[in-house]
Amino acid sequence: SQQGEEDPQALSIQEGENATMNCSYKTSINNLQWYRQNSGRGLVHLILIRSNEREKHSGRLRVTLDTSKKSSSLLITASRAADTASYFCATATVGNTPLVFGKGTRLSVIA
């Protein structure tokens, strides 16, 4: 079943602008993870945020989590052409259940 749903499905911005992607989910989670996938490649882990955390940073990435709204956002600041990729959120529910991935946001950064 699809747990996380990313929004928007596609996003096109100019280099230097910020990109914001959102993820909504339905059931209680243990943690939420963001991954990037370049065309033809595997997924690369970006950030893991636990249910008791509200915000995490990693370089130009900022992730927020609002468990009351069951939503998360990924912000990429000062985007670069190399940020062009698909971005997926994945939710981890309580217990040893596998990660459930959304359909992703396709980000295009135009130089």
Partner 1 sequence: NAGVMQNPRHLVRRRGQEARLRCSPMKGHSHVYWYRQLPEEGLKFMVYLQKENIIDESGMPKERFSAEFPKEGPSILRIQQVVRGDSAAYFCASSPPGTGANNSPLHFGNGTRLTVT
Binding region for partner 1 (CB under 8 A) = 2, 30-31, 33, 35, 40-45, 48, 88, 92-93, 96-104
109 DSSP β-pair partners: 13
- Smallest CA-to-CA distance from 109 within 76, 80, 75 is with 80
**Shortest gap between Cβ of 41 and partner 1 (angstroms)?**
5
Query: 76 or 104, CB closer to partner 1?
Result: 104
Query: 78 or 82, CB closer to partner 1?
Result: 82
Measured distance CA(11)–CA(9) in Å, rounded: 7
**Shortest gap between Cβ of 101 and partner 1 (angstroms)?**
4
- Smallest CA-to-CA distance from 22 within 30, 37, 38, 11 is with 11
